[in-house]
Amino acid sequence: MALPWPFRALIWFCTVVSVSFAHKNVLFMLADDGGFEMGAYRNRIVQTPYLDALAKQSLIFNNAYASVSSCSPSRASILTGMPEHQNGMYGLHNGVHNFDALGRVRSISTILGEAGSRPTSETTMALPWPFRALIWFCTVVSVSFAHKNVLFMLADDGGFEMGAYRNRIVQTPYLDALAKQSLIFNNAYASVSSCSPSRASILTGMPEHQNGMYGLHNGVHNFDALGRVRSISTILGEAGVRTGLIGKKHVGPGEVFKFDYERTEEQFSVNQVGRNITNIKLFVREFLRDAKDNPFFLMVSFHDPHRCGHITPQYGSFCERWGSGEEGMGLIPDWHPIYYVWDELILPYYT
Ligand SMILES: *[C@@H]1O[C@H](CO)[C@@H](O)[C@H](O)[C@H]1NC(C)=O
């Protein structure tokens, strides 16, 4: 089948921040749905002489992303330096959407205002810019057009730390080999820097204010996608493709995100389906055996890079002891960890 890949990367914001350190002022310009169509971002057709002149004296962000591809949540992220599940501004502020940030959250304008400056005009202070670019997902999509299959691998909180993305320290020979036969996205961004909404965006091709999955699916957060939305797995399943999900699911409801074969945290512990690679291997084999000669769409959703010390501290802060073979830790037979000197690794900025 041809791949009607519903990835809609909504690049909807553009910012030029003019910072004059001499005068210690900030002019922050935000364009609603704007892209990079300006001279300062090397567009040779669109003429933006005033922006370009401003940009020359300014800080240009070449690696800043909207943390949500939705208006109010993105504005709130920019102004608070927090992703939506921390600032509470999950959805649009207006009309029926009716979302608001949590009362205890403080925005940059509030903070600057309290520091004795007037945030809308002559601001005088050093700039504690709280931009937190959360790059939390990494995907490798392996598409074989000959066999018309899709293997979609998603890592929970993973970055670009693999050979295929030119990391020279981290050793990922199997991913690199897969990547050689695959489609590599060099310009794909998470449309939301929050787990369930990002997963729902990937699987529905819609931003959160269209698919309804504004927040986390679990516990008190309790968000679900709208019932009328259809995910890629549902659409492919109806077209006769065998669909499977092994690992972390974290989206709902089930009618929207249908898979023929599911081995997720809904039936097992998330560690067994998301971290135990021996188990994952056995599930993949079972899925492929059942798929027979059918084309398939298989999503393998690793939980591994995600921290776990807040839930099971006995396994280490990233469950790095779990399955190590030490007493009480069990064994993951296929796991042969490589230990890196962490300060040799180049990691994205985080706070
Ligand atoms: C991982 O899965 C394998 C295969 O099911 C199992 O034998 C092993 O005990 C599991 N490891 C842990 C730590 O649970």
296-308 pLDDT, tens digit each: 999 999 999 999 9
In a domain, 244, yes or no: yes
Pairing label, strands 261-263, 242-247: parallel
Strand residues in the chain grouped as ranges (E): 13-20, 25-32, 137-144, 149-156, 242-247, 261-263, 296-302
Check residue 144 and give its pLDDT. Answer: 36
Whole-angstrom distance, CA of residue 36 vs CA of residue 55: 13
Instruction: Give residue for tokens 């020359």.
Output: 56
274-296 pLDDT, tens digit each: 999 999 999 999 999 999 989 99
**Backbone phi, then psi, for 195, in 5-degree steps?**
-55, -70
Whole-angstrom distance, CA of residue 298 vs CA of residue 301: 10
Helix intervals (H) in 5-136: 49-56, 71-80, 84-87, 108-114
Domain that holds residue 217: 150-344
- Are the C-beta atoms of 137 and 154 separated by less than 8 Å? yes
Q: What angle do CA 243, 249, 253 make, to 5 degrees?
A: 85
Highest mean pLDDT among 88-92, 156-160, 216-220, 263-267: 263-267
In a domain, 92, yes or no: no
- CB count in 10 Å sphere of residue 196: 24
Whole-angstrom distance, CA of residue 127 vs CA of residue 120: 14
45-79 pLDDT, tens digit each: 999 999 999 888 887 777 777 788 899 999 999 89
- Are the C-beta atoms of 85 and 215 separated by less than 8 Å? yes
Whole-angstrom distance, CA of residue 137 vs CA of residue 154: 7
**Using a 6 Å cutoff on CB, does residue 325 contact ligand 1?**
no
In a domain, 267, yes or no: yes
**CA 18 vs CA 22, 47, 57, 162: distances in Å:** 12, 19, 7, 35
Instruction: Give distance in angstroms: CA of 302 to centre of ligand 1.
Output: 16
- Are the C-beta atoms of 178 and 188 separated by less than 8 Å? no
> Would you give the DSSP letter of residue 143?
E
Nearest-CA residue for atom 4 of ligand 1? 279
pLDDT at residue 201 is higher than 80: yes
- CB count in 10 Å sphere of residue 91: 23
**Using a 6 Å cutoff on CB, does residue 193 contact ligand 1?**
no
**Using a 6 Å cutoff on CB, does residue 280 contact ligand 1?**
no
The single residue of 14, 138, 195, 319 carrying the catalytic annotation is 195
Least confident among 57-61, 121-125, 151-155, 332-336: 121-125
In a domain, 139, yes or no: no
pTM value is 0.71
In a domain, 163, yes or no: yes
Pairing label, strands 149-156, 137-144: antiparallel
CATH of the domain at 219: 3.40.720.10
Q: What angle do CA 282, 286, 290 make, to 5 degrees?
A: 170
In a domain, 49, yes or no: no
Whole-angstrom distance, CA of residue 302 vs CA of residue 40: 39
Check residue 100 and give its pLDDT. Answer: 94
Whole-angstrom distance, CA of residue 270 vs CA of residue 276: 9
4-15 pLDDT, tens digit each: 333 222 222 222
- Total domains present in the chain: 1
> Would you give the DSSP letter of residue 38?
S
In a domain, 38, yes or no: no
- CB count in 10 Å sphere of residue 235: 17
Instruction: Give distance in angstroms: CA of 149 to centre of ligand 1.
Output: 28
For residue 318, what are its two tokens?
A: 């990233």
Instruction: Give distance in angstroms: CA of 329 to centre of ligand 1.
Output: 10
Number of H helices, E strands in the chain: 10, 7
In a domain, 158, yes or no: yes
Is residue 319 part of the annotated active site? The answer reads: no
Instruction: Give distance in angstroms: CA of 275 to centre of ligand 1.
Output: 10
Nearest-CA residue for atom 14 of ligand 1? 330
Whole-angstrom distance, CA of residue 348 vs CA of residue 230: 33
3-state secondary structure of 17: strand
